[in-house]
Amino acid sequence: MKLQTQRFIDRWVGQLLCGAVSAWVRFTGLFGSPTAQLAAAPKNILIILLSEMGSIVLAGPMFAHLRRQYPGAAIHILQLKKNQEVSKLLQLTDTACMHSLDDSSGGSLVRDILSISLKMRRLGLDAVIDCELFSRVSALLSFSTGAPVRVGFTPHTQEGLYRGSFINHAIPYNPYQHISKQFLSLVDALDSAGSTPRNKAAPIRELPVNTELSVSFDNGELTAYQAKLVADHPVTATRGLVLMYAGGGILPERAWPAEHYARVAQGLCAAGFAVGLIGLKDDAQLAKDLIAKIRDSACIDLTGYTRSIRELLMLFHSARLLITNDGGPGHFATLTPIQTMVFFGPETGKLYGPLGTRNAILESGIACSPCLSAYNHRLTFCDGDNQCLKRIAPDPVLDQALNFLRGSSANEGLSSPGAAA
């Protein structure tokens, strides 16, 4: 199903259904007990996390905190089917506790929603945590599972973001705090006295440095993969490898200009490094166009080269630096030793930047940036003219990359936020 179609259904049908459910909850509450509280030893907790795959990595500290807080509980995860590979790779929970929705068509999505709701009701959930930002379908799912404790974000007094009033352990979404910290606040809300738009009792935390996630590789596996890479692309045998992800994914306005990538790639190749252009098969044409501009045999096309996220991580192990647009690759890279440089503009690294110390956030900081948020349903007003990224000039980025690659420490070589033209 197209993204725009999903947004339309969520906005109009979703608001109507949320209103109906809220009225029902309000009516039945006249004859029921006060707001449900979490059991002392919960047995089943469901996490709804339908966002892009990179969000799973940013939610790593939340999963770790949840397991420490409730060691006896089975943690269930509900995701889109296309995103489930990451959870399995990271072993976030038992495979039997992983549930998915197929959003390839409206019919399959409705079918899976009904099936999952019935399954969760039979299971007997103690609580559900909705990690989505003002999505009506996830809010409705949290109710349909039958969980007595429903945790999620509330818009409080924000207009135009109505998603009902049946999330009974709600916390305010804060557009000034990194999303990983806010995910942790959702776990805190499980034990709250109820809906807490004004609650000041939550713990004070620093931004997590560690994702608390890992993927194990033995030396033989990594050595074999690197040997395959060299066999397929001999230029990597004698040159250090720099990877570039120039695609914008489902939000093309997040992409740094292709000609800027070409300029940096030319400089890296001239300095004695190999440049690998990564991405999905859909990015193959972009890679072909870039290679035509770069015109250097040290630049290789690796789009579609990795057949899984696990292989992508092994590729990261084989490279020294990743230069990437905002998206999944920058987050997956934090699970490996590779250094990253990540461009932000329509969204901001202050909210969605990769965790850890091996990354540099590159932002121009112009007045209209960031323009995508939960409050505007990630719809930009720049009409494709993403000046926030176009104004990050390529030569300073090349200098930063070379400083790192030539042996400068991460603090020396990659600390600046990027240069505006």
Q: Is 413 in a helix, a strand, or coil?
A: helix
Are residues 304 and 262 both part of a single domain? yes
pLDDT in tens, 322-374: 999 999 999 999 999 999 999 999 999 999 999 999 999 999 999 999 999 88
Q: Is residue 200 part of a domain?
A: no
> Where among 169, 189, 209 does a domain terminate?
189
Residue 74 belongs to some domain of the structure: yes
pLDDT mean over 388-392: 97
C-beta of residue 224 within 8 angstroms of C-beta of residue 303: no
Largest CA distance in the chain: 75
**Domain end point (choices 174, 189, 204):** 189
Q: Which domain holds residue 369?
A: 219-413
Higher-confidence residue of 7 and 265: namely 265
Reported residue count of the chain is 421
- The predicted-structure confidence for 274-324, as pLDDT tens digits, reads as follows 999 999 989 999 999 999 999 999 999 999 999 999 999 999 999 999 999
Distance CA 251, CA 400 (A): 26
DSSP state of 302: -
- 11: pLDDT confidence band, cut at 50, 70 and 90? confident
Mean pLDDT of the chain: 91
Instruction: State how far the Cα of 34 lies from the Cα of 337, in Å rounded to an integer.
Output: 50
Q: Quote the tokens at residue 205.
A: 């935390």
Whether residue 244 lies inside any domain: the answer is yes
Q: Would the pTM count as exceeding 0.85?
A: yes
Residue 419 is assigned to a structural domain of this protein: no
Q: Number of helices (H) and strands (E), helices first, in the chain?
A: 16, 12
Looking at the fold, whether 401 and 260 belong to one and the same domain comes out as yes
Q: H-helix or E-strand containing 152? A: strand 149-154
Sheet order of strands, 74-80 included: 98-101, 74-80, 44-48, 127-130, 149-154, 169-172
DSSP per-residue letters across 320-357:
SEEEEESSHHHHHGGGSS-EEEEE-SSS-HHHHPPSSS
- Number of domains comprising the chain: 2
CATH of the domain at 43: 3.40.50.2000
Same domain, 329 and 185: no
